[in-house]
């Protein structure tokens, strides 16, 4: 600001004493005309010279905040504007934001000047490039119509600035009118703009939570916005997938693992699951459905599922199944495979020998006796459904869980101990290994307990205690 002031002083003649002498000899009245539009004041030329010299001292005290513009990449910066769209205050929401602002003094600058300076700094520091080409603009204020105009203009300006740097950017922009978003932003210690984006994603996809998405970058959130087709935001360009293996590679990995060629593809899209960006690949071949989750960074198969029979069945096959129910129920156990045989079939199919964390039980569903068998081998959890009558694999799933050192019983006991509940007083106990964690739930007395326990080191990641009504 001092540099701007010095430059302004050099080009402005110091005629204050001359003006005073001149006014003494003049009889006409000096009229000050005001124009209400944007609260800008039009003054006669002699007065302008005096006011111009004083603007730097008077400006901060006479301008109130009317609009807030948020810029988020990973650096997060908010610009508070007056009703002339000049910057009153610059706020940084994280350390990267502080780094970008640095020693820049943007107070009093037009919004376009401030935004261009900040985007330029982000480009220079490598926060925006061809691999991470996403940026979020958020405009908040009482005048919705003016906010929308400003959003559109800033989006166009930034797009041109990125193209001038040979970057095909993807700009996410929005206007915000929901006061509750500010509370969410404070709760999760993120910007208001980012909180609004996450809220839109959580509303669109019930599998998402604020906790799971709060640490994602704007680029990662943009990828999810495009996959989930959120309509409440404006998106120009496409979020780059150059930093990931890509949809074609993910699809090829799934096809090769399933050992199928030219299947009918139902879906290949980016998603986020338990801390990892993934490609969801769904397809079917010969009435068999396949569902894969592929690590978007390294191509590792996180989850694979094969459903031996498609959900859409003809009425005749359904009737046939219904007619066979009674005869299937009457078949003796000698006509069915044993539990050990079911285990052997599943292990052979999975190509493993040594297993742990086994759970198996027999079930009767839709006219079929089957064994549901779950086990861990290496860094993966396997789930199988084996037809007890035909010995065929009806369904199987493979999911990455990492290094599992804790047993199911140990996880359960840790939860009981933390809750100060004895095992004899706990009921409706369920233990499920999900990715790298055990999810333990149980009831005791008038309360219901839920625990998330790290399967590798036994640490309690999260826990809840609710009144069971």
Q: What is the DSSP string of 245-305?
A: --HHHHHHHHHHHHT-SSPEEEEEEEEEETTEEEEEEEEEETTEEEEEEEETTT--EEEEE
CATH of the domain at 253: 3.10.450.40
Residue 9 burial (CB count, 10 A): 12
pLDDT on residue 86? 92
pLDDT for 111 equals 93
Shared domain for 54 and 71, answered yes or no, is: no
Residue numbers of the domain that contains 395: 334-400
Task: Give dist(CA 386, CA 117) in Å, integer.
Answer: 63
Q: Are 378 and 416 in a shared domain?
A: no
156 with 79, same domain: the answer is yes
Indicate whether 327 belongs to any domain.
no
Let me know whether 182 and 212 are in one domain: yes
Q: For residues 73 and 42, state if they share a domain.
A: no
Domain count, the chain: 5
Contact present, 115 and 104 (Cβ < 8 Å)? no
pLDDT of amino acid 447? 92
pLDDT in tens, the chain (469 residues): 454 445 444 444 555 565 455 545 545 444 444 444 443 333 333 343 344 344 444 444 455 778 999 999 989 999 999 988 999 999 999 999 999 999 999 999 999 999 999 999 999 999 999 999 999 999 998 888 899 999 999 999 999 999 999 999 999 999 988 778 888 898 889 999 999 999 999 888 878 888 889 999 999 999 999 888 887 889 999 999 999 999 999 999 999 999 999 899 888 999 998 789 999 999 988 888 899 999 999 999 988 888 764 333 333 333 444 444 444 444 444 478 888 899 999 999 999 988 988 888 888 877 788 999 999 999 899 999 999 888 888 888 888 888 898 988 899 999 999 999 988 888 889 999 988 899 999 999 889 999 999 999 999 999 999 987 6
The confidence score (pLDDT) of residue 425 equals 86
Question: In angstroms, what CA-CA distances link 119 with 86, 91, 222, 381, 421?
Answer: 17, 15, 18, 45, 55
The predicted structure's pLDDT at residue 31: 45
Considering the domain architecture, whether residues 134 and 223 belong to the same structural domain is answered as yes
- Could you tell me if 372 and 360 are in contact, meaning their C-beta atoms sit under 8 angstroms apart? yes
Are 17 and 46 in the same domain? Answer: yes
Among 11, 39, 62, identify where a domain stops: 62
Joined tokens for residue 133: 């080409």
Task: Specify the pLDDT at position 29.
Answer: 47
Does the residue 320 lie in any domain?
Answer: no
- Asked if residue 328 belongs to a domain, the reply is no
Same domain, 197 and 290: no
Specify whether 57 is located in the same domain as 87.
no
Is residue 224 in a domain?
A: yes
Last residue of a domain, one of 360, 384, 400: 400
Query: What pLDDT, on the 0 to 100 scale, is given for residue 72?
Result: 95
Helix (H) or strand (E) holding 55: helix 45-62
Domain membership of residue 166 (yes or no) is yes
With respect to residue 226, please indicate whether it lies within any of the assigned structural domains. yes
Say if 85 falls within a structural domain: yes
pTM of the prediction? 0.59
Residue 20, pLDDT score: 52
- Please name the residues in contact with 298: beta carbons below 8 A apart, sequence gap of 6 or more: 245
Identify how many contiguous H helices and E strands the chain contains and give both numbers: 14, 20
Same domain for 78 and 55: no
Q: What is the pLDDT of residue 332?
A: 42
Same domain, 339 and 303: no
Query: Could you say which of 236, 264, 281 is where a domain stops?
Result: 236
**Is residue 314 assigned to a domain?**
no
211 in the same domain as 106: yes
pLDDT at 17: 60
The DSSP result for 349-363, as a single string, is: HHT----EEEEEEEE
């Amino acid at each position: 600001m001092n540099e701007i002031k010095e430059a302004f002083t050099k080009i402005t003649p110091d005629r204050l004493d001359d003006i005073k002498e001149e006014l003494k000899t003049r009889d006409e009245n000096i009229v000050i005309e005001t124009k209400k539009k944007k609260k800008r004041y039009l003054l006669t030329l002699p007065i302008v010279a005096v006011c111009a010299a004083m603007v730097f001292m008077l400006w901060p005290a006479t301008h109130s905040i009317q609009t807030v513009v948020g810029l988020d990449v990973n650096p997060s910066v908010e610009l508070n504007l007056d009703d002339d769209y000049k910057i009153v205050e610059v706020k940084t929401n994280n350390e990267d934001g502080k780094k970008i602002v640095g020693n820049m003094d943007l107070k009093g600058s037009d919004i376009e000047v401030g935004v261009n300076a900040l985007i330029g700094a982000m480009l220079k520091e490598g926060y925006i490039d061809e691999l991470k080409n996403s940026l979020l603009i958020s405009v908040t204020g009482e005048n919705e119509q003016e906010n929308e105009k400003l959003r559109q203009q800033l989006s166009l300006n930034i797009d041109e600035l990125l193209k001038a740097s040979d970057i095909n950017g993807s700009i996410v922009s929005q206007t915000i009118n929901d006061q509750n978003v500010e509370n969410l932003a404070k709760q999760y210690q993120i910007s208001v703009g980012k909180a609004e984006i996450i809220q839109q994603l959580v509303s669109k996809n019930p599998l998402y939570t604020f906790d799971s998405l709060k640490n994602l970058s704007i680029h990662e959130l943009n990828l999810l916005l495009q996959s989930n087709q959120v309509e409440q935001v404006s998106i120009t360009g496409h979020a780059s997938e150059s930093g990931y293996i890509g949809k074609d590679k993910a699809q090829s990995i799934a096809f090769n693992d399933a050992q199928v060629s030219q299947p009918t593809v139902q879906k290949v899209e980016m998603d986020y699951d338990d801390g990892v960006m993934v490609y969801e690949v769904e397809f079917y071949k010969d009435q068999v459905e396949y569902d894969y989750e592929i690590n978007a960074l390294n191509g590792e198969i996180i989850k694979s599922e094969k459903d031996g029979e498609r959900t859409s069945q003809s009425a005749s096959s359904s009737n046939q199944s219904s007619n066979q129910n009674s005869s299937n129920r009457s078949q003796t156990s000698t006509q069915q495979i044993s539990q050990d045989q079911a285990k052997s079939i599943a292990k052979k199919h999975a190509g493993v020998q040594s297993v742990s964390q086994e759970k198996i039980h027999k079930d009767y569903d839709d006219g079929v006796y089957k064994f549901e068998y779950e086990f861990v081998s290496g860094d993966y959890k396997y789930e199988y459904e084996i037809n007890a009558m035909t010995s065929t694999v009806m369904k199987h799933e493979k999911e990455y869980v990492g290094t599992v050192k804790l047993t199911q019983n140990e996880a359960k006991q840790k939860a009981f101990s933390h809750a100060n509940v004895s095992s004899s007083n706990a009921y409706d106990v369920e233990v499920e290994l999900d990715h790298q964690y055990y999810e333990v739930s149980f009831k005791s007395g008038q309360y219901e307990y839920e625990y998330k326990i790290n399967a590798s080191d036994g640490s309690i990641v999260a826990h809840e205690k609710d009144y069971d009504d």
